[in-house]
Homo-oligomer: A and B are copies of this chain.
């Protein structure tokens, strides 16, 4: 039986997967359409057949990557009654999530180099961003009600702090590691615990 000689869906999916790797590796301008094609079982012609252009392919990669990551995020469930434990676990799971998806973080960096010019054309992504914020809102509210958290910190504030830290861990590891002689990978447990500590002390202050 083997693989069917023609399978539009498989061809498209394979192109998308390989393109994700190559764009994350080399950036938009650095990526070569011929290179992407050669790494698949099909040809460059198919990229133009399915995605129209290099830019169209990159947009599809971006959208697909964000969709995947948001779906993974939705699976995050911090099942603690204690809001302090919950927030610490959320920070740690976010940390894990980032270090295991460095392809995605690289795509985000690349997109920012382009000042978000491509992502801005993908309206569908904005509605996807809510789950992370919703969960945080709920934990914070419980913490405030219990008198454990201060009341002047918003979900966005916390999300930004955690994101900054976790993104940096991946996105800036090479320059930081080199300049300050730190190996993020070797001391992962230390760096993982740190952000939870920071957020909890901050929210519990006073």
Residues of A participating in the B interface, judged by any CB pair closer than 8 Å:
26-30, 106, 108-113, 115-116, 119-120, 125-126, 129, 133, 156-157, 159-161, 163-165, 167-169, 171-182, 191, 194, 197-198, 201-202, 204-205
Q: How far apart are the CA atoms of A54 and B161 in the complex, in Å? A: 37
Q: How far apart are the CA atoms of A26 and B129 in the complex, in Å? A: 28
Pick from B160, B161, B168: contact of A163, CB below 8 A: B168
Q: How far apart are the CA atoms of A28 and B30 in the complex, in Å? A: 8
User: Chain A interface secondary structure, helix, strand, loop or mixed?
Assistant: helix
A120-B178 in contact (CB<8A): yes
User: Could you say which residues of chain B place their CB within 8 Å of the CB of A126?
Assistant: 178-179, 181
Q: How far apart are the CA atoms of A187 and B176 in the complex, in Å? A: 28
What's the minimum C-beta distance from A86 to chain B, rounded to whole angstroms?
18
Q: How far apart are the CA atoms of A179 and B27 in the complex, in Å? A: 21
A157-B194 in contact (CB<8A): yes
| 14 residue pairs A–B, Cβ–Cβ below 8 Å | A27-B30, A29-B29, A109-B113, A112-B171, A113-B113, A116-B177, A119-B179, A160-B176, A161-B194, A163-B176, A164-B167, A202-B202, A204-B205, A205-B205
User: Could you say which residues of chain B place their CB within 8 Å of the CB of A26?
Assistant: 29
Residue of B nearest to A70 (CB): B179
User: Could you say which residues of chain B place their CB within 8 Å of the CB of A198?
Assistant: 161, 198, 202
What's the minimum C-beta distance from A98 to chain B, rounded to whole angstroms?
11
